Amino acid sequence: MSKWDIKPLGVRGQLTMTGEAAKDLADAAKAMVDDLSSAAASAGTAVPGGQYNGPMIGPVAPGQPRNPVGPVAAALSSYMEERQKKLQSMAERTGNSMTGAAEATNAYVQGDLDMAADAQAKALQAPKIDLPGAGK
């Protein structure tokens, strides 16, 4: 039988540090989107702005106007679409890992509590004394 040695306080500390790192990652991803949006808007178009009639493409920060974009903005948009999938996957895997670690630790603690309660209940039971010749 394998022996488990989980330190719940240690797990909590690691989950806290991981949560802080995940927040930093989310902040960096937001900054990247903002920077790419700014770069796309600053890159200009291949045609004078008033002559462009095509679809609006490229990353656009919330609240910003969708102006005509050129090939640089289109490339940044394509890059961001692929990067966004990876960032979303990283965020989901991190969240799932943290949830799994917390749930496993809680189950471990609950198992310890259940075993302790069982041991206490058995310790409080009246002993069964089997005397030779008793009841004959």
Contact between 73 and 42 (Cβ < 8 Å): no
Any domain includes 93: yes
Whether residue 71 lies inside any domain: the answer is yes
Tell me, yes or no, whether 118 lies in a domain. Answer: no
| In a domain? residue 89 | yes
Residue range 43-53: average pLDDT? 61
The predicted model scores a pTM of 0.63
Query: What are the backbone dihedrals phi and psi of residue 116, each rounded to the nearest 5 degrees, phi first?
Result: -65, -40
* 128 domain residue, yes or no: no
Burial of 27 (0-12, 13-18, 19+ CB in 10 A): exposed
Is the torsion defined by CA of 96, 99, 103, 108 positive or negative? positive
pLDDT of res. 67:
59
* pLDDT tens, residue by residue, 100-119: 999 999 999 998 889 888 88
In a domain? residue 115:
no
Domain interval for residue 82: 27-45+56-107
| Domain total of the chain | 1
